[in-house]
A and B are shown apart, each in its own frame.
Chain A
Amino acid sequence: MRRAKGVYGMRQVACIFKKLKKNTLLHGVISFAAVFVSLLLGMVLIRFMGIDPLAALAALYEGSFSSMKSLLETTVKMTPLLFTGMSYAIAYRCGLTNLGMEGQLYIGAVVGTAVGIYVTGLPGGIHVPLAILGGFIGGGLFGFIAGALKVWFGASEIITTVMLNTIAMNFAEFMVNGPMIEPARSNSQTSPVLESAQIGKLFEGTRAHWGFIIALCFIVLFWLFLWRSKKGYEVRVSGLNRQAAAYSGINIEENILLVMFLAGGLAGLAGCIEILAVQIRMVPSISPGYGFDGIAVALIGNNTPIGIVLGALLFGAFRAGGNRMQMRTQTPISIVNVIQAFVIIAVISSNILLEKLDEKRLKNQKQEG
């Protein structure tokens, strides 16, 4: 009897998957249109400031894509976004809303920095992976807290992750000002991480680093886990239809704990690698909102691996080119945030319109049949 129920659940789920695949291309088109409309709105806003929007756009492009140097700078800004995008997406795939990426990023950075400073006498080949592992586990455990509160106490992860963000940022500030402060200095910063723990540059004389390649490897792992492993399949089923998942004997609670750990770990890597490769030492504000940017990255990318890469490319380019735009045309870089908010709203509402259209079509078909 149980088994029959299980089969039924799986078939239902397979049906949902088929429908999803058909929508992937359409989703791509919609995301593109949403980005285009948002950019247009941003340009209108820039026009209102009395700045030539085309000059601003040109400077934005120049700072992000036009030369090898600016392209490499874009990869630097992309790296944390790839991780936070994956963090939001993996939780979303399990039906969870992880808004705690910013906090998990900070905890990952603190742990990574600690391993990078205080573990001594290791060769680079061991020290770097160890520090990265530390960042992953640190962020992961912090994400796990939200998962545990949900599974064991029924507390919504949406609010707890928001609260945990501030806790983490304050904790990081405390560590940087207190236990981890650079000896004999009064600035709020830690010592630089040891040379053996620093992630190398891809090319001498640029800021591009191996962390970007690591992030791309994680994109592959992200895909392998969610779409090519049994556990990943279970996670996606839990996200799509909790009842069907429970019918087919999937342990949802265990999956929530696992996914929140992985999501936290991915966000932790964003912070950890940012320290080991770019900032070298920890200061109280290491992220201009990479955690929250992850929401937009995952949304544009429809929570798929390729989509996340494209989303991170877009916002990484904004962050890299935004500086140039500010210098050249006096357009405040904060306009990037405004455009980003437009993108989120545009993508999410066009998705809903798409669903409504689908529903209508289905209804019409039923009536004809």
Chain B
Amino acid sequence: MSIMNLISGYLASDIRMATPILFAGLGLLIINRSGLLNIGAEGTMLVSTLLAVVGSYYSGSVWVGLLCAVISGALMGLLFAFFTVTVKANQIVIGAALNILGSGLSATLNRIIFGVSTTVTRFDAFTNIKIPLLSDIPLIGGALFNQMIPVYAAFLLVPAISYYLFRTQAGLNLRSVGENPRVADTLGVNVYRLQYMSAIIGSALIAAGGAYLSTGLVSSFSEEMVAGRGYIALAAVVFGKYKPGGVMLASLIFVAGNVLSNILQVSGTPIPYTLLTMIPYVLTVVALAAFAKGAVAPASLGRPYKRG
């Protein structure tokens, strides 16, 4: 029974901790599929972690916090789209600027709103919702069906986005923009509008991941609390071969190592967590080298499209 509990607990925390990365990965996937390469997920998440706390603290409702976070993400997406699609600036540099902006903005606003030394912890946060019957399934029930609403939402988004991308006309249009914007344009797809839309919606999803981080996974904000998850999400998309299911699998695998190291540390087996934290990144570098020739990335990823 204790082994069962251990596995169940392990699975539960893997799913819980993979959720912010899954949100961000799915957001990035949508952005990447439209041909835009946004490395600014880290900055977008940083701003949203703070705004989720601010919204929840002042309104008393975690949902308002989520809304604030999502709006901040949408604005970051709009900013990204304006400079990369309309101005046609280098997407990498704008993404890097978003990361610096997010880091600076979240720390600055935090100090203005909450002061330098205080950490706000008393505000409305997400709580676990137990799904009746399903949560009683042995082994997996507690892990899969006793989670917070954002966790369910993130995992339900996987088939939804998959359906959208590969089974609908709108999804086909989006993918065609990422593969060959000129052909898409000729066929009557509004390339710029789609890129704007996907940057905004994708960034909003990324921000939802940030919101869950500060009002669900833990309930407090601290500077730089995203701690590289925006980069792991970037890795998850590449490792997941630009497919929603792949992104989900990659997020779960990437986090599994961390969870395992936490458990091992608690039980007194000292495996340096720093080495385990490296694993997702090493895997991604290897995957990049292995897949590069197979060209799984959208063909025009990172290239600005100019009409005419």
Contact = CB atoms under 8 A, between A and B. Distances in A.
A332 B111 contact: yes
B96 A345 contact: no
Contacts of A338: 101, 104-105, 108
Contact of A162 (B98, B103, B234, B272): B234
B138 interface: no
A348 B235 CA distance: 26
A336 B108 CA distance: 9
B293 interface: yes
A99 interface: yes
A335 to B, nearest CB: 5
B167 to A, nearest CB: 28
B92 A99 contact: yes
A233 to B, nearest CB: 24
Contacts of B275: 170, 174
B183 interface: no
A174 B93 contact: no
Interface residues of B, number: 45
A68 B114 CA distance: 36
B288 interface: yes
A241 interface: no
A335 B103 CA distance: 9
Nearest to A284: B274
Interface in A296-343: 296, 299, 332, 334-342
A155 interface: yes
Interface string A270-311: 000000000000000000010010011001000000000000
Contacts of A344: 93-94, 96-97, 100
B159 interface: no
Contact of B100 (A158, A164, A292): A292
- Chain A, interface size category, equals 35 or more
Contacts of A166: 228, 231, 277-278, 281
A296 to B, nearest CB: 8
B83 interface: yes
Nearest to B79: A345
Interface in B44-62: none
A45 B93 CA distance: 23
B292 A334 contact: no
Interface in B98-146: 98-101, 103-105, 107-108, 111-112, 116
B87 interface: yes
B93 A295 contact: yes
A337 B96 CA distance: 12
A159 B88 contact: no
Contacts of B274: 170-171, 173-174, 177
A213 interface: no
A299 B272 contact: no
B4 interface: no
24 contacts: A149-B289, A153-B292, A155-B289, A158-B92, A162-B39, A162-B234, A163-B235, A166-B278, A170-B274, A174-B272, A178-B272, A289-B100, A292-B99, A332-B112, A334-B105, A337-B101, A337-B103, A341-B98, A342-B101, A344-B93, A344-B100, A348-B93, A352-B88, A353-B87
Top 10 A-B pairs ranked by shortest CB distance? A337-B104, A341-B101, A334-B107, A338-B104, A154-B292, A153-B289, A174-B274, A344-B97, A155-B288, A332-B111
Given A166-B277, A337-B105, A344-B94, 7 more contacts: A49-B112, A99-B39, A155-B288, A164-B285, A178-B272, A338-B105, A340-B100
